[in-house]
Amino acid sequence: MSEDPSAPVNKWAAVAVLLLANFMNLIDITIVNVAMPSLQSELDAAPNLVEWIVAGYTFSFALLLLPAGRMGDLFGRRRMFLTGIAIFTLASLACGLAPGIDTLVAARVAQGVGAAIMTPQTLALVPTLFPREQRGAAFGLFALTAGLASVTGPILGGLLIGADIYGLTWRPIFLVNIPVGVGAFVAACFLVPRADGDRALGIDVVGMILAALAMLAVLVPLVEAPSIGWRTWMWPLVLAAGPLAWSFVAWQRRQAARGAPELLPLRLARSGGFLTGGLLNAVLFSAVPSYFLTIALYLQSGYGLTALQSGLATTPFPIGVLIASAMTGWFGSRWIARRVVGGALLLGLGFAGQAWAIAGMDGEIVWLRMAPWFLLGGIGLGNTVSPLYQVALSAADDNDTGSASGAVQAIRQVGIAFGVAIMGGIFFGLLGGAETGDREAYRLAMLGAIGYAGLVSAILILAPFFTPMRLADES
């Protein structure tokens, strides 16, 4: 991969631009949840259409991550990064100006397309910018961004909707992306080095179709079931997911044997580090976003906190991730397996502490009782996610980092969907038909959801003892 010789050499400034774009995407996911009641009432939309404001974004984003990562390998990662920002920003404008629910859903799908194009490039550019010993710090910052977005989204959403700027109600949650997107685009033109793609890699159209069908077969039931319940038509999709995934792998083998273009190079798919890092990353993210979804329901519906108060209650978590990002910079590429075990142990202790705090709060929410455990969990997340990214992406060479990044993040999206379905199912199953404000029912439901998060932590603690966890270039 060749870099533009005129590009600035300030790698951390370039990473700041990548993080800004990544933050814009991640916060857009969480901020929309706060606005759903306002959206439904103002647009007078049916509940199933309102759900597609989230589902449409989720599907387009998840389905295009892997192909978009490969496009970065072919056409250049900065070029694709800029393309993604432009589409996302224009789609955000369309969302903010949408006259009705149909236009808004279509614009949200377009937003997902833009996010899918730019997101794989953010991680794929890290190996281009940094030597191996500095990548841990960069990946740690991406973990920090995810933590900040999970907390900032509800806070910012609550502030913007509550302010009702110029009578626009929910629209500023999308319009706020315009100056951020324009700023990120301009900054990327000057600060992110150009990495020319290799068009000789070619485009695997059949692989794209098979991968998309396999992802749809998994995601449609997982995304729809929490809101509409499990339906008979979902079973054929679940049963078809396995054969479709097998067909995709078989096609990649055929392409590799013929020397034809591959969507996911077989060398990556056979790499133990790539599979271990990618799958454990998905397991990790099946717990964390789902936990923040359920804790928000617990605080707001169970105890009557506003979205802003709920977001502020969880702020120690991103502070913990910030502390962890400094630690990962010092660790570099050392002690990968030990850091996964240690980070997962801290994350598990954070979840256990939250369970203790929740079990002991009969009346009002006691912030000081919960805050230390949020902080500990944030430190644990930051120290777990960075080495997992390092392990997964170390298996990719210069021509494959986009494909590897897209695949890791696509697998992560499946993990998030699984987590929402499982943890949400546990939460609402235990909640039953309890009324809003039934604190005892919400407390029991939250404790049940934390049980799944604890199981995930245990898996991550034990995994390095049963599978090799080291960087691909170590021997």
| Predicted confidence (pLDDT) per residue in 437-472, tens digit | 888 899 999 999 999 999 999 999 998 888 877 776
Q: Which of 238, 260, 282 is the last residue of a domain?
A: 260
Question: How far is Cα 373 from Cα 379, in angstroms, rounded to an integer?
Answer: 10
Question: First-to-last CA distance in the chain?
Answer: 25
Does any domain span residue 450?
A: yes
Residue 8 has a pLDDT of 44
Does any domain span residue 6?
A: no
Same domain? For 73 and 164 the reply is: yes
Question: How far is Cα 144 from Cα 125, in angstroms, rounded to an integer?
Answer: 17
Does any domain span residue 3?
A: no
Is it the case that residue 373 has pLDDT exceeding 90? yes
CATH of residue 166's domain is 1.20.1250.20
Higher pLDDT, 259 or 134: 259
Same domain? For 131 and 32 the reply is: yes
Quick one: average pLDDT of 18-35?
Answer: 82
Above pLDDT 90, what percent of the chain?
24
Count up the domains in the chain and report the number. Answer: 2
Quick one: average pLDDT of 164-168?
Answer: 81
Above pLDDT 70, what percent of the chain?
94
Residue 13 has a pLDDT of 87
Residues in CB range of 369: below 8 A, 6 or more apart:
357, 360, 361
Residue 65 has a pLDDT of 86
Q: Are 409 and 435 in contact (CB under 8 A)?
A: no
Same domain? For 138 and 280 the reply is: yes
- Would you call 264 exposed, middle or buried from its count of C-beta atoms within 10 A (0-12, 13-18, 19+)? buried
Structure tokens at 326: 């400094």
- The pLDDT-based confidence of 178 (bands split at 50, 70, 90) is very high
Is it the case that residue 414 has pLDDT exceeding 80? yes
Quick one: average pLDDT of 253-262?
Answer: 85
Same domain? For 25 and 57 the reply is: yes
Same domain? For 214 and 314 the reply is: no
Q: Which of 260, 278, 302 is the last residue of a domain?
A: 260
- The pLDDT-based confidence of 179 (bands split at 50, 70, 90) is very high
Residue 243 has a pLDDT of 93
Residue 9 has a pLDDT of 53
Going by C-alpha positions, the residue among 330, 298, 337 that lies closest to residue 314 is 298
Does any domain span residue 296?
A: yes
**pTM score, whole prediction:** 0.82
Structural domain including 410 reads: 11-203+261-466
Quick one: average pLDDT of 343-357?
Answer: 94
Same domain? For 169 and 293 the reply is: yes
Same domain? For 360 and 217 the reply is: no
Q: Which of 188-202, 285-299, 300-314, 344-358 has the highest mean pLDDT?
A: 344-358
Average pLDDT, rounded, for the chain: 84
Quick one: average pLDDT of 286-312?
Answer: 83
